[in-house]
Amino acid sequence: MKIRKGDKVQVMTGAYKGTIGEVLAAFPKENKVIVEGVNVVKKHQKPTQANPDGGIIEKEAKIHVSNVALYDEKAKEAGRVGYKFVEDKDGNTVKVRYFKKSGNEVKEKK
């Protein structure tokens, strides 16, 4: 799965098509991600010690990774991602993600 937590993605299909948001969590075994502000559902919460009132809360649900694409902020469009090996300043070979259309490297969040 080429999409990770902290990446900016654009939703390609469904009710939230065109929405750009940040990945809050990634689930590689399920091939799903949670995107900020996308697939918002209402959940009925029982009263607990942490939330004594309970009630109805809104939260983001998982969305399949095939329905989102990584967003390239330089090119201002979503695109496909590949891997390539590049040498860093120490001379070590590192595997980096890049956008196939523009050739820009994906900026990693630390």
d(CA 4, CA 1) in angstroms, rounded, equals 8
pLDDT at 48 over 70: yes
Q: Quickly tell me which residue has 């967003």 as its tokens.
A: 71
Q: How much is the average pLDDT of 85-98? A: 90
What is the model's pLDDT at position 89?
86
Q: How much is the average pLDDT of 36-46? A: 94
d(CA 37, CA 11) in angstroms, rounded, equals 11
CATH number of the domain where residue 89 is located: 2.30.30.30
Residue 29 tokens, joined: 């075994």
**Cβ contact 68:33 at 8 Å:** yes
Distance of CA 94 to the CA centre of its chain: 22
Confidence (pTM): 0.83
Task: Give the total number of structural domains in the chain.
Answer: 1
Residues 6+ apart with CB under 8 A from 71: 7, 8, 9, 10, 20, 77, 78
Residue 1 maps to a domain: no
**Cβ contact 95:64 at 8 Å:** no
The bridge status of strand 20-27 relative to strand 32-35 is antiparallel
pLDDT at 35 over 90: yes
Residue 49 maps to a domain: yes
Residue 59 maps to a domain: yes
pLDDT at 110 over 70: no
Residue 63 maps to a domain: yes
What is the model's pLDDT at position 51?
85
Q: How much is the average pLDDT of 32-39? A: 96
